[in-house]
Structure 1
Amino acid sequence: MGFLYGELLKAKREINKAYGNVESRYKDVIANIDKKMKGRLDSPLHLTAYLLNAYYSYGNPSIFDDAIITEGIISYLETFYHHDEDKQDQAANTELKKFQNREGPFNNKLAKTCENFYYNLASW
């Protein structure tokens, strides 16, 4: 699931490029994609899976500063660890920082290879 949101962002960038990055040419297409995504593929679960997908987050560290992604993961953690503020805090402020900084288990050889591996689901 972590690839859906990322692939939609990639498709939107490619559409922009195909239309010569002229907003008046692509804005209706992008608006239609955004309308279809809204409430479906931009859920806190999808945003969290996107953030935790090393291919996207390590390839583009600015993801960790994106307000939409941050709001999504906070909402996800509040739901997943419902009424357990200690676990919410640990996941958001400790474990996520370890992932972001590639510390501990996120620094082993296998974890490092994930950031360069594109999971093409069609090849399965």
Structure 2
Amino acid sequence: MASCNRGAGEDPPRGHRRDPQRIQGDDHTVTRRDSHRFLIAYDIPDDRRRHTISVILKGFGHRVQYSVFMIDCSPGKIPILQHELEENMKSGEDSVLLCDLGPSKLVDSRVITHLGSSCCAMLPGAMII
């Protein structure tokens, strides 16, 4: 844990405290009670487009397998994500699957089961077996 360089009795700077009910992303912050967990998988044969799609998805969530991401966000943000993906896809060649797994606070090992090795940690609330 990092030490804080403030004097005794001083309040932390505004915005310093973390709200445990908030999910931090690169550009997107939502509360757990409002967010849904989405599973997104893609099949993109072109290296450049595949890299672009991967970068877009990293801005919204976390890679759990080579071409699979888990994203916690409000359902209202999904049209924004879809638009960004569609702008960078070739519809006749590329495929992206978006699955709404439901409210993030309810997604646990009953909804997601993972077998075998894992390249990345899952988002909070999911269990890797």
* TM-score past 0.5 threshold: no
Which has a greater percent of helix? 1
Which has a greater percent of strand? 2
TM-score, length-normalised on structure 1? 0.30
TM-score, length-normalised on structure 2? 0.30
